[in-house]
Amino acid sequence: MDEQRLDGNAAAGVLAEVFTFEITTARTACVHCGASGEVGAQMAYVSEIGTVVRCSSCEGALIRIVRQLNGPQRYWLDLKGIEYLQLQERQ
């Protein structure tokens, strides 16, 4: 499967595997350019080997997640590109 450029909202599934809270409505800020917004409003680059959420303003990598395909469930999660995540409990 080739890499697809989609909305951050499209990363909801893989991110829900590691985050308990709804992640697509979480606010975040980009360490590269400072732009802030909801994760769902960023861009998601989705491929078979993993997903990269990129800033919709500067295209800098915000979140990288890779899942091991075989064997025990194991994830590599790189959050270096975000200043913070503001998570909200669903009302």
Partner 1 sequence: MTEVAGAPRRLDWQIGEIIEARPETPRTKSLFLEVPGWQGHRAGQHVDVRLTAEDGYQAQRSYSIASAPETVRVELVVERLDDGEVSPYLADELRAGDGLELRGPLGGWFAWDAKEGGPLLLVAGGSGIAPLMAMVRHRKASGSDALVRLLFSSRSYEEIIFREELESLSADDETLEVVHTLTRSRPEGWKGYERRIDEEMLREVAYPTEKPPLTFVCGTTPLVETVATALVGLGHDPARVKTERFGPTGG
CA separation for the pair 5, 88 (Å, rounded): 26
Q: In the complex with partner 1, which residue's Cβ is closer, 75 or 84?
A: 75
Q: Which two tokens stand for residue 49?
A: 């080997």
Supply the minimum distance, in Å, between the C-beta of residue 52 and partner 1.
12
Binder among 10, 52, 55, 82 for partner 1 (CB under 8 A)? 10
Instruction: Measure CA of the first residue to CA of the last residue in the chain; give whole Å.
Output: 37
Residues between 41 and 80 that touch partner 1 (CB under 8 A)? 41, 64, 66, 72-79
Please work out the total of residues on this chain that contact partner 1, with binding judged by CB under 8 A: 34
Contact 62, 54 (CB under 8 A): yes
Nearest to 19 by CA among 70, 59, 77, 82: 77
Binding site for partner 1 (CB under 8 A): 1, 4-10, 12-13, 16-20, 22, 24-25, 37-41, 64, 66, 72-79, 90
